[in-house]
Amino acid sequence: MKPIINLSDCVLCEICVELCPKIFKINKAGFIEILDIKEYDKDCIKEAATNCPEDCIFFEV
Ligand code: SF4
């Protein structure tokens, strides 16, 4: 399950990048980007979503 970020709510606090550096990164444009990998660590995404101050991390359905 790939995570999605609602970029219009994201405040670039980088908590998600710190918690899951293999999943989230800041791209050259200065926005959070989801890395294209085979399998996403669901627990790590959940932790990032829980700690995201803007509640803007979701799972793709
Ligand atoms: S934790 Fe949430 S608000 Fe912070 S950078 Fe990640 S997506 Fe944006």
Q: Where are the domains of the chain?
A: 3-59
Q: Tell me the average pLDDT of the chain.
A: 95
pLDDT for the residue numbered 60: 74
Q: Looking at the domain that runs over 3-59, which CATH code has it been given?
A: 3.30.70.20
Q: Which residues line ligand 1 (CB under 6 A)?
A: 5, 10-16, 32, 52-54, 56-57
3-state DSSP assignment of residue 14: coil
pLDDT for the residue numbered 9: 98
Residue 13 Cα: closest atom of ligand 1: 4
Residue 19 Cα: closest atom of ligand 1: 1
Helix, strand, coil percentages in the chain from 3-state DSSP, rounded to 5: 25, 20, 55
Tens-place pLDDT, residues 8-27: 999 999 999 999 999 999 99
Residue with tokens 């799972």: 59
Residue with tokens 């991390």: 57
Q: What is the pTM of this model?
A: 0.93
Task: For residue 1, give the nearest of 23, 16, 32 by alpha carbon.
Answer: 23
Amino acid at 33: E
Hey, which residues does 58 pair with through a beta bridge?
A: 4
pLDDT for the residue numbered 36: 95
